[in-house]
Amino acid sequence: MFAWTRRLTVIAATALLASGAALAQAPIVIKFSHVVANDTPKGKAADFFAKRAGELTGGKVKVEVYANSTLYKDKEEMEALQLGAVQMLAPSLAKFGPLGVKEFEVFDLPFIFDNYDELHKVTQGAVGKQLLGKLEGRGLKGLAFWDNGFKSFSANKPLKTLDDFKGQKLRIQSSKVLEAQMRALGALPQVMAFSEVYQALQTGVVDGTENPHSNLFTQKMHEVQKHVTLSDHGYLGYAVITNKKFWDGLPADVRAQVEQAMAESTAYANRIAKEENQQALEKVKASGKSQINALSVAERQAMKRAMVKVHQDMASRIGQDVINAVYKETGFDPANP
Ligand code: LMR
């Protein structure tokens, strides 16, 4: 009897030790949710980050990536992050308005960036840092800006002149600047979660939308849109964000390693984005499903004239100081756009 009790005690103690050891080794899990396909600039960068965070922390951190809205859609993922149900997201800069961070909508202003070099002066410089700081009051921590690219319009007809846009129902992200942009063109903007866009285009709930080519192609939107117009009229990119409480609670050494993984992933994302979008356009062309339309110089100029007035209309929402700070970096002259 006594021997039995002793044996049980030994077994229990061993089990306790084993579970203690397991606990000590249990990795810190970072659930990283996003809404696009794996095979996009953001999808690839998230996977890259997962790999590097695991390597640099020697397995102390395990990043689980949930792509394509499999875990949460646009609005839900923001709530999930604030509640701590996920630890990392990279929402488009056009989706922070509902959180009360209206300054990020500066990135949605039509024609504010001519190319990636101008954009990087903002996202990789002091202005970008200040903008990320705006998240702190929302229980969030901004870690980085990741590129996607410049948008094209798509619809079942070429969208080249203001007449073409008139009355077209066009899906937008949840940004007041994008809403104003579509109205300036004479179109009817419809806010919709990214996960619902393909079906809405297919069933005719909306007539068209705007996207970088990587999103257009990987969501197969080109299969339900007869025309794509190469307008490069605006930028779509991301802020990588985490829950501040979670971030501050990480052991300092682990946090530094995760920061290093993020820095490498940012360099990677911003290295591949342009090329990924070019390749996606080639694939759309090769599919033969959508006709690709170029704008003449005069058409682009007319589009620009109609849209640039949105900068002024939205200044009170975004903050003229924020807009001016971006103009200063990029050299954009509102008097001579
Ligand atoms: C969209 O909703 O169109 C984009 O924000 C999707 C994305 O994450 O690129």
Q: What average pLDDT does this structure show over 136-151? A: 96
Pairing of the two strands 235-243 and 88-89: antiparallel
Please give the structure tokens belonging to residue 127: 């202005």
Compute the distance from residue 269 Cα to the ligand 1 centre, in Å: 15
**Ligand 1 pocket: which of 44, 72, 92 to mutate (most atoms <8 Å of CB)?**
92
Q: What average pLDDT does this structure show over 8-26? A: 53
| pLDDT (tens digit per residue) in 292-318 | 999 999 999 999 999 999 999 999 999
Kind and range of the H or E element at 266? helix 252-287
Residue with the bigger pLDDT between 312 and 337: it is: 312
Report the C-alpha gap between 58 and 62 in whole angstroms. Answer: 10
Report the C-alpha gap between 98 and 310 in whole angstroms. Answer: 19
User: Counting atoms of ligand 1 from 1, which one is nearest the CA of 212?
Assistant: 9
| pLDDT (tens digit per residue) in 92-123 | 999 999 999 999 999 999 999 999 999 999 99
Residue boundaries of the structural domains of the chain: 21-328
Using 50, 70 and 90 to split pLDDT, how confident is the model at 1?
Answer: very low
Q: Whose CA is nearest to atom 5 of ligand 1?
A: 92
Q: What is the percentage of the chain residues whose pLDDT exceeds 70?
A: 93
Give residue 17's pLDDT: 47
Q: What average pLDDT does this structure show over 148-157? A: 98
Q: Is the CB of 93 under 6 A from ligand 1?
A: no
Kind and range of the H or E element at 132? helix 126-133
Compute the distance from residue 5 Cα to the ligand 1 centre, in Å: 62
Contact, 233 vs 111, CB < 8 A?
yes
Three-state secondary structure call for residue 306: helix
How far are the Cα atoms of 17, 44, 202, 206 from residue 40, in angstroms, in the given order?
A: 45, 6, 22, 24
Please give the structure tokens belonging to residue 52: 């590097």
Give residue 26's pLDDT: 93
What's 21-328's CATH class?
alpha beta
**Ligand 1 pocket: which of 173, 178, 217 to mutate (most atoms <8 Å of CB)?**
173
